[in-house]
Structure formats: C-alpha cells, structure tokens
Structure 1
C-alpha cells in the first residue's frame, strides 16, 4: 500500500516521517494538520496524499513504523538468555528508559496513540494495540524459569496477577498523562514504583 513512499530515498522518507511524528505527537490525531506536516517536510500536500492516500493511512503507517522500530531495537537489547522473571523485567525497564532518551519523539508519538480517543480511528487502533500487547507479552514470557515460583500456588494465576498488576499500572500512568499539560510524564518515579512492585510480587510468589 505504501510502496510509492518506500521507494523514495531514505533522507526524504525520514524527513516526512519525522515531520508527521512531530505533528501528531504534539497535537493528537484530530488536531494535527497535514498542512503543517508538508510544510515541515518540504513537500506538497498532493505528494503526501499520493504516498499515503489520506491522513488516517498516514497515521496507520506511522504507528506500524514506530512500533516496529521500537520492538526490533528492544528485542536486540533485552537479554532473553536471562531466565529469571523479575531480572528480565528490570532489564526491559532499563532498555525502555535508554530508548526514551534516544527516540523521544517516537515514544511520545506512541504514547499519544495509546491516549488517543478520536472516534475516526479509536476502534481500529484499540484492536491494533491489543494485538501488539498480546504478541509482546507472549514473546516476553518465552524461556522464563518458572521453577522459581511457589509450588503451592497455581502458576497461571500467579502470571495473571502479575500481568494485571502491571496492566493496571499502565492504565494509571496513561490516565495521569491525560491530566498533565502536553501529556508529559516523569518516568523515573514510575521506574521507582515499578521496582517496589517487583519486590512485593517476588516476595509473594517466589520460593
């Protein structure tokens, strides 16, 4: 679908992508202006729609592009040879913090997608976000040494409790972001709180 865009030289692709990410991240889907995107990218509006068809398709492309870039880099940096469940989570958090520093605009855009409530795209993106979460959670649990967990508690229930805990934390973080100017978040307190939950859950469920 996006073959015309992908046939462009890399510099022009990056210029368009960066301009679009910046606009959507700052203003959200409904308020983002394709006029501002083409102005920033140095192309005509006709060319933008020639490459992507419409605003919604551009947004879909950016979401797939950003999540693929993040997950590819994430999987390269997280040591999946580490079989301890909580050590792997700690590594994952550290990698995410590092990537927030190297790709701030991309993370800001993805964060805004998860906060987006535009009716034009909400149903489609809710489905995409659920699918992405399901795939990544499945990958994350691969190779974990479950023998460290208590034998007297159902392992499936343990995993559900841990998963629900961090899903609820994510929901609270997103709600917090919605109530702040420009949806800004201070991630270090979030990391500190996550570490506290690690210790509680480890005490509860490890032998």
Structure 2
C-alpha cells in the first residue's frame, strides 16, 4: 500500500475516534492532529478542511454499516413491516456493538450540525432518496383501503418509524448496558403505534 494512502487511512481511524467522542462542533483541528500524531499541516495535505475530513469519516461509516448490517439483503423481504422490524433488530445489535459509529451516524442524520447541512444533503441526498425508494417499493405491496392515499400513508408510517429510530439511537448513546429486554419493550411500544396506524389503513 502506498505510504500516502496508508497515512490517510491512519488519519481517518484516529479522527473517527475524536469525532465519535466529541461531535463535529466540539472537535478542533488541533484535537484531530494530536489524535493522529501528526501536524495540522499534514492533515490538510490530505483533507482541505475539518468538514471534508468529517465527511470522509462519515463515508466510511456508511459503507461499513451498509455492508455489515446487510441492508440490501434485508430489502429482499417481501413484507414491508416485517422488513422494518428485522432492520430495527439488526441496527440495535450493530450499533450497540459499534457505539462510535452509531454516534457519528446519529449526529450526521438526526442532529445535523448547521455547518454541515448543505454538504450532507448534497452528498447523501441521493443515497437517502434511493433508500426511501426501496422502502416505498415494499410498501406498495401493503393492501390499503380504497379511500387511503398511499403516499400519505407511507409518510405517516415512516414518520412514526423515524421517531422511534431516533428515540432508541439516543437511548443507546446514553446507556452502555441496554439489554435484550429493552429491545423487546422498544419493539412492543413501536409496534403498538404501528398497529394503530395499520388498523385505520389496512383492509
């Protein structure tokens, strides 16, 4: 592996830990350089700014999570609600085992720093849109009453699921010892909300 690429990967590894611990706004370039054991000048040789460095770290988190959680294979499930529940279980265990990655993902997509909003939308907007398109494809197979607008029903369900996703990501972040009983109770509460929605929209 070329020395320059090796150095860049080491920088990303070190900076991942700093961003995960302190968040984007509370991380300085001095902190990043100290963690990587190099000068700020060398960091900026590889990355034009702290923002570019953060987005590079985020790229790695997204790719790692997508592969290791098997997002693409989860969408092979033919039932929308079963796929969503399975994905929640996979995410719970994955983020519990990878708390640093979870903190970065949560900050980037659920509590986006103002300085990063435009860049994250520009860089990941298409990825998020494609993910939503895949969920919408599964939702198209859900049988609805004739008087229910499918797009509105999809939005209502996704808003509910997003609320619970953010809730459990926050609780995982703030608690180191969440057990399987938490996951069971979380899914029970979430599914009770979904049942209320489905009772009004499914045949």
Normalising by the smaller structure, the TM-score range is 0.7 to 0.9
Structure 1 residue 16, shift from structure 2 partner: 2.2
Q: Which residue of 2 aligns with 1:35?
A: 30
1:203 to 192, 199, 202: 199
Q: Which residue of 1 aligns with 2:104?
A: 109
Q: Which residue of 1 aligns with 2:190?
A: 194
Structure 1 contact 28–112 (Cα < 8 Å) conserved: yes
- For structure 1, the 5+ residue unaligned runs are none
Structure 1 residue 59, shift from structure 2 partner: 1.3
CA RMSD of aligned residues (A): 3.3
SS at match of 2:5: coil
- Looking at structure 2, the residues matched to 22 and 166 of structure 1 have their Cα atoms a distance apart, in angstroms, of 29
Asked if 1:184 corresponds to 2:181, the answer is no
Structure 1 contact 23–33 (Cα < 8 Å) conserved: no
Q: Sort the Cα spacing of 1:59 and 1:150 in 2 relative to 1 into closer, same or farther, 3 A.
A: same
Q: Which residue of 2 aligns with 1:44?
A: 39
Matched residue count: 194
SS at match of 1:146: coil
- Looking at structure 2, the residues matched to 125 and 80 of structure 1 have their Cα atoms a distance apart, in angstroms, of 24
- Looking at structure 2, the residues matched to 147 and 124 of structure 1 have their Cα atoms a distance apart, in angstroms, of 35
Listed one character per residue, the Cα deviations across residues 131-160 of structure 1 (whole Å, up to 9, x for unaligned) are 443221112333456253334423233212
TM-score of the aligned structures, taking structure 2 as reference length? 0.75
- For structure 2, the 5+ residue unaligned runs are none
Listed one character per residue, the Cα deviations across residues 143-189 of structure 1 (whole Å, up to 9, x for unaligned) are 45625333442323321221233345556x39x95xx9xx6266746
- Looking at structure 2, the residues matched to 77 and 101 of structure 1 have their Cα atoms a distance apart, in angstroms, of 21
- In the TM superposition, 1:70-149 aligns within 5 A as 70-76=65-71, 78-114=73-109, 115-118=111-114, 120-128=115-123, 130-144=125-139, 146=141, 148-149=143-144
